[in-house]
Amino acid sequence: MKKWLMAGILAAVGAMGAATEPRTLLLEVRDVPAVAQQEKGRLAYNDYNRDTVLSLVRNTAFVLATPAEFAALKRDGFHATQVMESADRMQLIKRALYGPTLTLPAIYHRYDQIVAAADELVRTHPERIARVQLGETTQYHRPIYAYRVSRDARQPQDQPGVLFDACHHSDEIMGAEIVFSLLQKLVLDYGRDPEVTAWVNRSEIYLVPVVNVDGHDIVTSGRDPRWRKNARDVNGDGVAGIFPEGVDVNRGYDFNWAMGGSDQPDSERYRGEHPFSEAENRAMRHLLELKHFVLSVSYHSQGEVIYYPWDWRGLPAPDDALIKEIAGEMASRISTMEGHGTYAVSPGGASSQSYAWLYGRHGDFDFIIETGKGTHLFAPGEVPGIIAANLEGVKALFARMRGPGLAVHVTDARTGQPLVAEVWLPRIESNMVDRRTTEGAFGHYWRSLAPGKYDLIISCAGYQTTVRRDVTVAAGEWTPLDVMLRPE
């Protein structure tokens, strides 16, 4: 009997994608066998599949099907039951992804709720948190906010920067909940929790709970739980928010832009007409003009994996060993939903996405964390566990914000004024990446490094170039290096 069932499953691989009549049934399929969940399996979940398997969490799938497909599943031994029948496809999708109410569960937050709660923290703790507007959205001109948390948030600090952002993809709303929870923890636990207090005192922390504000609103307002891109009216017909319009905000950065995403407007990965065509990407670019970051995380879903830069046609990033080590430290702290292991790590591609751009252009070790598994909109009972697990990963990142590495401070030898100087480590960096620079306001450049000896070349237009050889980076915290450049 087992052999017959297995043969039936394997023989039916791909059958769910061949329907010629409308799929008017929403099915719940329990106890999905492992073989059917595999990449080529009959009930495999794919992030971009809008036709059949809408979610697959803890061996339970929600599937769109025709009556014939429903009968075939039952005949082949699957535990399938009908949840809903409708000729309105959107109603079926809403039932599968939002749940029985067909609306967003209350455990999730709308953007206006996040902003209102964060603004209250700004009002009651002005010394700890400040709001910074980065720009406005492409379609509806909603404000995109970052929140700065530090020992004195009323003004920029001369401290190493760390960034947390979420919702480049608007249906991946779990990330917004993680960043929002972290924001509250940083502000409310400061002075009460020694660990959190140390994080805030040592670093300048920026949090962007929602990058893609327009798209996030489409999902959280209950209009369309599938929405991934921003809300731009790409075809110019004056009607926005019609699936699948919009631009994939996480394919719009200018590092190897043409290698990433798609040039087809109806693609889920449409990258826009040119790099930074979207206001959401320009808002993040503006943030990098305000602050340089040592480490950062961009939350996505799903997959329970941490992607790091990069695999560029078989070539690793110049800092590959250290980046992979940090990714592994975070992943080892984040438990999977099943609780039987921790997140995986993997190099990602080197094109057009935020982590490749932040590392390639700005020297920021950025990581994409794909939270949860099997869907983008998790059932209310799953949300607290996913948040708690990912906040454990945050602890590993903040441990790295202590060092080791170099804290290079470059000033004018005559005036003592800080300089925007290029800091090049020729033994590590290649032409794959842009040269790194100090921050103009303070003249500082923080660089995560493994303990050891390094050569540095420090240069600035109008000044004599300085070479420092065999600079020792000690284990533990940041190793300071003061460099005074003399005018030519």
Hey, is 133 helix, strand or coil?
A: strand
Q: What is d(CA 92, CA 86) in angstroms, rounded to the nearest whole number?
A: 7
Cα angle at 450 between 445 and 455, to 5 degrees?
A: 60
Per the rule left: phi > 0, alpha: psi between -120 and 50, beta: everything else, 399 is: alpha
pLDDT in tens, the chain (488 residues): 334 344 444 444 444 655 679 999 999 999 999 999 998 899 999 988 889 999 999 999 999 999 999 999 999 999 999 999 999 999 999 999 999 999 999 999 999 999 999 999 999 999 999 999 999 999 999 999 999 999 999 999 999 999 999 999 999 999 999 999 999 999 999 999 999 999 999 999 999 999 999 999 999 999 999 999 999 999 999 999 899 999 999 999 999 999 999 999 999 999 999 999 999 999 999 999 999 999 999 999 999 999 999 999 999 999 999 999 999 999 999 999 999 999 999 999 999 999 999 999 999 999 999 999 999 999 999 999 999 999 999 999 999 999 999 999 999 999 999 999 999 999 999 999 999 999 989 999 999 999 999 999 999 999 999 999 999 999 999 999 999 999 99
Instruction: Work out the burial of residue 233: count CB atoms within 10 Å of its CB; fewer than 13 is exposed, 13-18 middle, 19 or more buried.
Output: middle
Domains of the chain in sequence order: 2-98 (no CATH), 111-400 (3.40.630.10), 405-485 (2.60.40.1120)
Q: How far is CA 94 from CA 34, 103, 243, in A?
A: 26, 7, 14
Neighbours of 88 (CB within 10 A): 10
Find out whether the peptide bond into 310 is cis, omega within 30 degrees of 0: yes
Q: What is d(CA 376, CA 390) in angstroms, rounded to the nearest whole number?
A: 15
**Taking the CA atoms of the chain, what radius of gyration do you get in angstroms?**
24
**Count of positions (residues) in the chain:** 488
Hey, is 198 helix, strand or coil?
A: helix
